[in-house]
Every structure is written in C-alpha cells, then in structure tokens.
C-alpha cells in the first residue's frame, strides 16, 4: 500500500498523476519491463549523502549514477550512496529501495538527470515494489524543484 504521506503530498499540491500496480519487482529495470514502460521513462531514485546531507538522484532505470559528477553538481566535498540500514531509517513509510523521487516529502534536495527534461511522462515507485505513479515531467519538476544536470549514463554491461 502506498504511503499515505505521498498521497497527501500529491493531493495537497494538486498534481495530476495516475497510479498502477504490477507484480513485485526489486530493480528499476525489472519494474519497467513488467510494466511495459521504456527504461528511459522509468525514474529510479538513488539516495546519497552529500557532506552529510541526504540528497535524491533521479535517473532513468538503465542508468548508473556517476558519484563524482553528482558530488560536483551538489557542491559537496564528499558524496556516497546511502546504506540499506540508512534507507530503512530515512523512509520508514516505504519499502526498501522503493521511495518516490520527491525530496519535498522529506526536506531533501533532488537532482534529476538532464535527459528527463521535456519528457511527456515519468514513471516511478510509489513507496512499494508493486505501486507506481505516472506523471508528466513538467509536473514532477514543478513539485520537486530539482537541480538538473548530467551525472549519470547508461549502465555498461561487463
């Protein structure tokens, strides 16, 4: 079940969106595939610590975050990804790894990959591994007020 805080946040801000459910998926690429959503439209949220401040990096499902580029964009001396234990403590109303990309819910800055700008839709986890939200990028940007930059790229298979 989606976190009530997310539903209240979206309703309060009068943002148009749709929801749907899919079979449980624990990676962004798997969720995109079983939902029949292009990987470039599926937004995964990567939680990081920039000089001790929690920040959210939003990238397409098939991308990986370049931590050095994100560190520079955030203006931080240090940047690291959050641990599983930290995720559970930071987002107690969400399943691990399924937090939505809205830093405003948690008073956290949001960084979004440049390639999303202008896209007609974004799809992302809504707090669980089965619930999703779909909205226009511009509506997401109006709500999340993200810093836009290039800090990720397609995953290279080895």
| pLDDT tens per residue across span 7-66 | 888 889 998 999 999 999 988 989 999 999 988 899 999 999 999 999 999 999 999 999
Average pLDDT over residues 64-70: 97
Over 90: is that where the pLDDT of 156 sits? no
Average pLDDT over residues 69-95: 94
Whether residue 158 lies inside any domain: the answer is no
Whether residue 156 lies inside any domain: the answer is no
Average pLDDT over residues 65-92: 95
Total domains in the fold of the chain: 1
The DSSP bridge partners found for residue 110 are 56
Average pLDDT over residues 149-154: 96
Q: Can you give the residue range of the structural domain that contains 51?
A: 4-151
Whether residue 40 lies inside any domain: the answer is yes
| pLDDT tens per residue across span 131-151 | 999 999 999 999 999 999 999
Q: What is the CATH number of the domain that holds 79?
A: 3.90.960.10
Three-class HEC string of the chain: CCCHHHHHHHHHCCCCCEEEECCCCCCHHHHHHHHCCCCCCEEEEEEEEECCEEEEEEEECCEEECHHHHHHHHCCCCEEECCHHHHHHHCCCCCCCCCCCCHHHCCCEEEEEHHHCCCCCEEEECCCCCEEEEECHHHHHHHHCCEEECCEEECCCC
Whether residue 157 lies inside any domain: the answer is no
Over 80: is that where the pLDDT of 125 sits? yes
């Amino acid at each position: 079940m989606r976190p009530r805080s997310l539903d209240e946040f979206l309703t309060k801000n009068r943002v148009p969106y749709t929801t749907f459910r899919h079979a449980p998926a624990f990676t962004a690429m798997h969720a995109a595939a079983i939902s029949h959503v292009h990987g470039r439209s599926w937004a995964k949220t990567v939680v990081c610590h920039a000089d001790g401040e929690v920040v959210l990096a939003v990238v397409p499902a098939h991308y990986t975050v370049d931590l050095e580029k994100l560190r520079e964009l955030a203006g931080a001396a240090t940047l690291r990804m959050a641990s599983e234990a930290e995720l559970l403590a930071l987002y107690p109303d969400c399943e691990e790894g399924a937090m939505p990309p809205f830093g405003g819910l948690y008073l956290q800055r949001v960084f979004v990959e440049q390639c999303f700008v202008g896209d007609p839709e974004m799809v992302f986890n809504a707090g669980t591994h089965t619930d999703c939200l779909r909205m226009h990028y511009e509506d997401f940007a109006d709500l999340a007020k993200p810093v836009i930059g290039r800090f990720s790229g397609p995953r290279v298979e080895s």
